[in-house]
Amino acid sequence: MSETVKLVFIGGGNMSQAILGGLIAKGQALVDCWVIDPFEPARAKMEELGVPVSAEVDDRVMETLLVATAIVLAVKPQMMEAALVPLSGKLTRQLVISIAAGVSIESMAKWLGTAQQPYTQIVRTMPNTPALIQAGITGLYAPPNVAAIDRTIAENLLHAVGKTVWFESEDMLNAVTAVSGSGPAYVFYFIEALEAAAIELGFPVDAARLFAQETFLGGAKLAAQSSDSPAQLRAKVTSKHGTTERAIEYFDAVALKSIFIDGVKAACARSRELGETLKNE
């Protein structure tokens, strides 16, 4: 990202720290960044990176906001409206990039704009927690009125912490939230289960965790580097009448795959519900 890009982060939590860390590693100038967060521990971590911080949007911060290239909204969904109140009706052409789950562009446009003119320069994104180690993946959506140069700024920002994919429908970000936003928790859930199985089979606790983690890590790397589909890779490991086949047969008998898919769909439905709740409030 160009050193001339000026960024303001509203919210200085883990995701902001990850994005800033990735940008700094790629040459983003620290003097061109600013972080606003009411919580002292978050500010302290940003100060350790050498990033200017503020607890609130005071006059000095507002001056910075009005000359910023992009403003990144990194607050919890239920806190978004309150966080945007100081900016309402004051922005001109700044690009606003949201990384909050469930908060629609319509809601943010209303809170940032005026009753007569909602704010229009908004890109909505959904990164996931592996961004903390620059291994994330982010879904992005921008309305047609957002210029190509602004789309590029948003893409470069999130590309600093992993891969990026654009979607043509904002509603697809609910699916992104369910698949990749919540997805790391599913992975941890299955690592937890494999670890528990190893312990029940006699593994020492430390060895059980190591085998579970390395099995998932190695399997994911193999899938990423192979031209075979996951189904084909699974078939190659599943010898006829062997141990793996017995486990897969049991999983199928209890409809584990269908249950898992239904769970992801439930997460997507919940993302839509949260968005509607915030919109109606």
* Residue 1 predicted with pLDDT over 70: no
pLDDT for the residue 275:
85
Q: In 10 A of CB 77, how many CB atoms?
A: 17
What's the rounded Cα separation, in Å, for the pair 83 and 240? 58
pLDDT for the residue 153:
94
pLDDT for the residue 28:
73
Bridge partners (DSSP) of residue 125 are: 140
* Residue 273 predicted with pLDDT over 60: yes
Taking residues 33-43, what's their average pLDDT?
Answer: 92
Residue-averaged pLDDT of the chain = 92
* Residue 202 predicted with pLDDT over 70: yes
| Lowest mean per-residue pLDDT among 111-115, 171-175, 192-196, 209-213 | 111-115
Domain ranges of the chain: 7-172, 183-273
Which percentage of the chain shows pLDDT scores above 70?
97
pLDDT for the residue 30:
67
pLDDT for the residue 196:
98
What's the rounded Cα separation, in Å, for the pair 1 and 33? 12
pLDDT for the residue 4:
63
What's the rounded Cα separation, in Å, for the pair 193 and 140? 32
Q: At 70, which amino acid appears?
A: A
What's the rounded Cα separation, in Å, for the pair 2 and 94? 16
pLDDT band at 274; cut points 50, 70, 90: confident
Taking the CA of residue 152 as centre, how many other CA atoms within 13 Å lie in the half-sphere pointing to its CB?
Answer: 6
How confident is the model over 45-76, as pLDDT tens digits?
A: 888 888 889 999 888 888 888 889 999 999 99
Q: Which CATH number fits domain 183-273: 3.30.420.40, 1.10.3730.10, 2.60.40.1220, 3.60.15.10?
A: 1.10.3730.10
* Residue 33 predicted with pLDDT over 80: yes
For residues 237 and 59, which has the higher predicted lDDT (pLDDT)? 237
pLDDT for the residue 58:
84
Taking the CA of residue 4 as centre, how many other CA atoms within 13 Å lie in the half-sphere pointing to its CB?
Answer: 0
- CATH annotation of 7-172: 3.40.50.720
pTM: 0.90
Token representation of residue 21: 């860390």
pLDDT for the residue 220:
97
Token representation of residue 109: 């446009």
For residues 14 and 209, which has the higher predicted lDDT (pLDDT)? 209
> Which contiguous run of DSSP H or E holds residue 174?
helix 172-176
Q: What is the DSSP letter of 74?
A: -
* Residue 167 predicted with pLDDT over 70: yes
Q: At 267, which amino acid appears?
A: A
Token representation of residue 132: 């903390």
Taking residues 86-114, what's their average pLDDT?
Answer: 92
